[in-house]
Amino acid sequence: MPAINQEAYQSPFSTRYGSREMQALFSPAHRARLMRRMWLYLAEAQQELGLPITDQQIAQLKAQAEHIDFSVIDGFERELRHDVMAHLKAYAQAAPLAAPILHLGATSCYVTDNADVLILQDAMRLLRRRLLGTARALSRQALTYKALPMLGYTHFQPAQPTTLGKRICLWLQDLLMDLRAVNDFLDNLRPLGCKGATGTQASFLALFEGDEGKVKALDIHIAKRMGFEAPLAVSGQTYTRKIDSLALALLSGIAQSAGKFAGDMRLLQHLKEVEEPFEQHQVGSSAMPYKRNPMRAERMAALARFVITGEANAAHTAATQWLERSLDDSANRRLALAEGFLAADAILTLYENIVSSLVVYPKMMEKNLLAELPFMATENILMKAVMKGGDRQELHERIRSHAMQAGKQVKEEGRPNDLLARIAQDPAFGLSQAELDTLLQPMDYVGRAVSQTEEYITGEAAVLLAPFSGEEGLSAEISL
């Protein structure tokens, strides 16, 4: 990790949370190279459509497309107070032969918005790889623990048994909804193309002397050079900020899924049933050496909150753009888009890291489950006693009374649950302790949890993941 200037503010995403891959996509250098690429695409397409642009000019633009001197750009920006003009001047200075034809007919948003679309596309693809890695890890763990019974909860109160594998499927299903949303976003993403100052393409119509066919062809040529089939059909000066809003809504969805998982992990770690990885020399608390705090899940929860609140930011920006363009989006987007994607990237990295190395304690699950199972077995006990000739209504009341007394003993006196012993001693039931014990097999109470897990992982989940079988994941190692 490079040295950090401790005398100046640094974004936590640059110093602690953001991956190198995502940081690179939102770096000034990458955006500057993409802007130059857009100027090159424009010149190439204009030459192809008949404008007097020479091969030498194109060659010089290509030669300087990757060599960015930020000291030159910074000097121009201090003078001009316009970032795109500073980049344009620096490119023209580096490629003087092409200076006369550079940015011909274009506006600043031609380079910035099209570059941003390419960044959004790559950032969303990177998140898809993160989603795939996490989903695959969840699928593996679901099958591993498909038949490990544990207590299920509603309202965080004991309810009915489930299995760890089935619970993992709940987390996976949410994440696969996010994967579908990412795919839809990428399938429908379009660049701005070449639309001009107010989206009417007037400047390009003048360049091509009124030839609308060539103006339309230029728009298509630019989009295809960017890797798209077509640009947006209509625009003002910018691409619609609904695209940014949709992107951050999608990130919010990922954060919601991950936040649910993180919250569940924190509860399970409190129950001592499932824990996140804990390093050999990791410190849980500065005051209490014995503690194993769920640090990674808590960081996920914190970052998820940040991303979820960011969704409203982009929505407000989309809603407040005036007519064909206003500039109150610019400073906001520099923060909201980059930090939203960096945070989502960090969240998914933590998610996969935790899932891949889950620490599971089956004996604690058994202990917690058996402490509550006698209450959950009461219906089966009732049916067994009725089959032996008992009166269902009378026995129901007797079980209710015994259960209340057993529950009171557990809560008020801290003693074990003795419901079964009370029933065994009640002659109205006609059931021995041995017979009652046979009714306390946890797997008898998990319903279809095992088959549901198998069906989901090998069915719907497998179908959604199959198209990406050749797409590798990313490292889920965390350094802090």
For residue 48, the one-letter residue type is E
Vertex 342: Cα angle to 72 and 85 (nearest 5): 25
Task: Report the distance separating Cα 469 and Cα 354, nearest Å.
Answer: 22
Which class for 173: exposed (0-12), middle (13-18), buried (19 or more C-beta within 10 A)? middle
CB-based contacts of 419, cutoff 8 Å, min separation 6:
374, 375, 378, 402, 403, 406
Q: Which of 67, 82, 270, 285 is catalytic?
A: 285
Q: Which of 155, 281, 469, 479 is catalytic?
A: 155
Which class for 120: exposed (0-12), middle (13-18), buried (19 or more C-beta within 10 A)? buried
Task: Report the distance separating Cα 38 and Cα 49, nearest Å.
Answer: 16
Under 8 Å between Cβ of 250 and 185: yes
Task: Report the distance separating Cα 319 and Cα 329, nearest Å.
Answer: 10
Name beta bridge partners: 157.
154
CB-based contacts of 52, cutoff 8 Å, min separation 6:
none
Taking alpha carbons only, the member of 158, 93, 146, 115 closest to residue 369 is 158
Terminal-residue alpha carbon distance, the chain: 11
Q: Is there a catalytic annotation at residue 155?
A: yes
Catalytic residue IDs: 155, 285
